[in-house]
Chain A
Amino acid sequence: MKGTILENGYPSIEELKNAHRFPSEERFQKGPVAVIECLQPIPCNPCENACRFGAILVGEPIINLPELQEEKCTGCGMCVASCSGLAIFIVDKTYSATEATISFPYEYLPLPVKGQAIKAVNRAGEVVCDGTVTRVMNVKQNDHTPVVTIAIPKEFSDDVRSMQRLNVAPAEKDHECCADYTYDPADPDDLIVCRCEEVTVGDIRKAIAEGADTITGVKRRTRAGMGLCQGRTCSKTVSKMIADAKHLSGDKIPLDTARPPVKPVPFSVLAGDEDI
């Protein structure tokens, strides 16, 4: 798993190439082409319908990875905004003698404008070079997924996949009101578990030591789960504490009793009912 998408969060060029996600270098030399950086079999296929030239195939089952038929792809970019995962890019390595263009989905405000100088980033979000915006496409059909095209030095065209966001606030000075925290491995008994009734870890441990082996048993002894939220926040934690203390699996800790009202009701509402 080391260094894979599951650890890094983004694919490496090797992973993309091994999964046949990268068009051939010959195809790159012929002009703009789609690079579909989709590596996991998830149920999704809008890209297939978005391509007017039939260059993207998903087929059945729907979890198939989209296959690009590179000879059919014109690099038109219709698929970019259609990808729900924002994983399709158009790379044009023939833009000029020294520059390539990268088109990518960019759903952040403010949008850049044509001619703007930007910082181009790689898949990890690291700035790798300067770039210039050559196009911002935000037509209705994109449904609020603008596609930004930037020109960058050709040597970075396999790496650059986005631009530094323009809405990043300048870094604030580090906080000074509190010192760095050092972990104390002893679980503090005063840690709150049920915040509605302010029941602590210590209270619940005591209840379990006294023989409570169900959520209801803990509730009877401590009021955990009897407050405003009716246990929707703490019941799972209480269940886990019992399971841990008694060495039981989760299925051996039954649900707490369900009784009306499942949500708190003011007495005035109950009293106002003519039927009662």
Chain B
Amino acid sequence: MLVNRQVAIIGGGPAGLTAAIEAAKVGAQVLIIDENARPGGQLFKQIHKFFGSKAHNAGVRGMDIGLNLLKETEESGAETWLNSTVIGLYEGNRLSVVRTMEDGSKKIHTVQAEKILIATGSQENTINFDGWTIPGVMGAGCAQTMINVNRVMPGTKALMVGSGNVGLMVSYQMLQAGIDVLGVVEAAPKISGYNVHAAKICRAGVPFYLRHTIIHAEADESGTLCRATIAALDEKWNPSPNTEQSFDVNLVCIAAGLRPLAKLAQMYGVEHGFIPELGGWMPLHDENMETNIQGIYVAGDTAGVEEANTAMDEGRLAGISIAQSLQLLPDQEAEQCKAEIRARLESLRLGPFGERRLQAKNRIVKKEVQL
């Protein structure tokens, strides 16, 4: 079946939803396609209060921001297909979608849209060590989904590998769920996430193992994880002999960063650049979040891994740009809105934690990325 829409948005997370709201509220015919049972992306597992300013809903929990976005999306008139997966993007702005119908059956639909936003988010990185495939070793984001969305305890005693904000936040949320976190392991000589997050888990008595890495995980007779071993790193970042420490844990979480998920953009020929600050290979975009292919936009983690606040503003930027190019918004009004959003985005990228991302984004927009 061929379905025509003005705007198709792939991924109903913070970027996709905000874009849908901005475009639909000025009259664009918007279809959001999301492979989950509920839109909101990763927002519903963010049970903590967000940073930022009032305009960014600072102090509001991510899950509540998600609820507000769902309400706004509904009010905007945007249409949503859930449990539906885009499997390909073809010439003529055609999307191939495995759509779940009301009766639960799956049908292939082709969606053709004038404008397409790819907001498919990012993918957790893995670390390969002896035993990393044992059940009980998982991505930190995966454990967070189990606890906060599915309400399933992934373990009772855990070790966290990685001290970025994801590692710190998920450690805290595991403690809240009643999981004993025996330590946070970090290869670098310093904790890489926000100190306020680190301080929270310090007060709960969680130790940090800096300049250490995980080297081994072991399963018991039932095949599930029962022990993990870490070792100190030498100056060449290799594990040093006789520094092993073992922990009796049934959960190891890996928080080793994320990288953009952009296969759909890649298959459509969108220009990519290698931007280490934003997760490596990613689709490049202009200051309107449009790629080198006219009508194809990216936003959120797909357009470089950052966080939910920046994703929401990038989504708004993309939604307004799309509405403007469909001539649903007068240029002057659109430009003014976009300028405000860009200023907000810049303020979110200030300071030592954001400045490398800010510089990288500036390089991308100014087309200074070497291809």
Contact = CB atoms under 8 A, between A and B. Distances in A.
Interface of A: 1, 5-11, 37-46, 49-50, 61-63, 82-87, 107-109, 121-126, 143-145, 161-162, 164-165, 167-169, 172, 174-175, 177-178, 180-183, 185, 188, 191-193, 195, 201, 230, 232-234, 236-237, 250-251, 255, 258-263, 265-266, 269-270, 272-276
B220 A270 contact: no
B198 A188 contact: no
Interface in B170-215: 175-176, 178, 180, 189-191, 194-206, 208, 210, 215
Contacts of A5: 191, 195, 198-199
Contacts of B327: none
A124 B202 contact: yes
A167 B179 CA distance: 9
Contacts of A185: 238-239, 241
Contact of A9 (B108, B199, B259): B199
B229 A180 contact: yes
B36 interface: no
Contacts of B272: 255
A9 B202 contact: yes
A39 B198 CA distance: 12
B287 interface: no
Interface string B240-256: 01001010100000000
A7 B188 CA distance: 10
B169 to A, nearest CB: 11
B85 interface: yes
B347 to A, nearest CB: 5
A125 B128 contact: no
A165 B238 contact: no
Nearest to A266: B106
A169 B156 contact: yes
B280 A259 contact: no
In the A-B complex, the 10 residue pairs with the smallest Cβ-Cβ separation, listed nearest first, are: A260-B88, A85-B196, A125-B205, A251-B274, A261-B87, A46-B59, A9-B198, A258-B266, A6-B190, A63-B351
B156 to A, nearest CB: 7
Contacts of B349: 43
Contacts of A144: 61
Nearest to B192: A6
Contacts of B246: 180-181
B37 interface: no
A41 B98 CA distance: 45
A44 B248 contact: no
Contact of A178 (B64, B125, B199, B226): B226
Given A125-B202, A188-B130, A40 B49 contact: no
A201 B129 CA distance: 11
Contact of A232 (B191, B215, B261, B351): B261
A210 B228 CA distance: 35
A135 B272 CA distance: 56
Interface stretch (B50-58, B144-152, B316-324): B50-58
Contacts of B175: 108, 165
Contacts of A162: 203-204
17 contacts: A6-B190, A8-B208, A37-B196, A41-B352, A42-B351, A49-B54, A61-B347, A62-B52, A62-B347, A165-B175, A181-B229, A195-B133, A237-B128, A260-B89, A261-B88, A273-B108, A275-B1
Interface in B271-287: 272, 274, 276, 280-281
A39 B195 contact: yes
A185 B239 CA distance: 8
A48 to B, nearest CB: 9
A275 to B, nearest CB: 7
A171 B245 CA distance: 18
B200 to A, nearest CB: 5
A145 B106 CA distance: 43
Given A143-B59, A178-B227, A237-B128, 14 more contacts: A7-B190, A38-B196, A40-B352, A40-B353, A42-B51, A43-B348, A43-B354, A46-B54, A85-B197, A123-B199, A177-B221, A178-B220, A181-B229, A255-B272
B6 interface: no
B51 A43 contact: yes
B126 interface: yes
B300 to A, nearest CB: 17
Given A123-B202, A123-B203, A125-B206, A236 B280 contact: yes
B290 interface: no
B179 to A, nearest CB: 9
B195 A180 contact: no
A275 B352 contact: no
B123 interface: yes
A270 B108 contact: yes
Nearest to A271: B108
Nearest to A192: B133
Contacts of A164: 205
A43 B107 contact: no
A43 B54 contact: no
A46 to B, nearest CB: 4
Contacts of A108: 175-176
Contacts of A1: 189-190
B231 interface: yes
B292 to A, nearest CB: 16
A207 to B, nearest CB: 16
A7 B353 CA distance: 16
A188 B238 CA distance: 15
B274 A250 contact: yes
A82 B221 CA distance: 47
Contacts of A126: 205
Nearest to B265: A258
Contacts of A262: 86-88, 263-264, 267
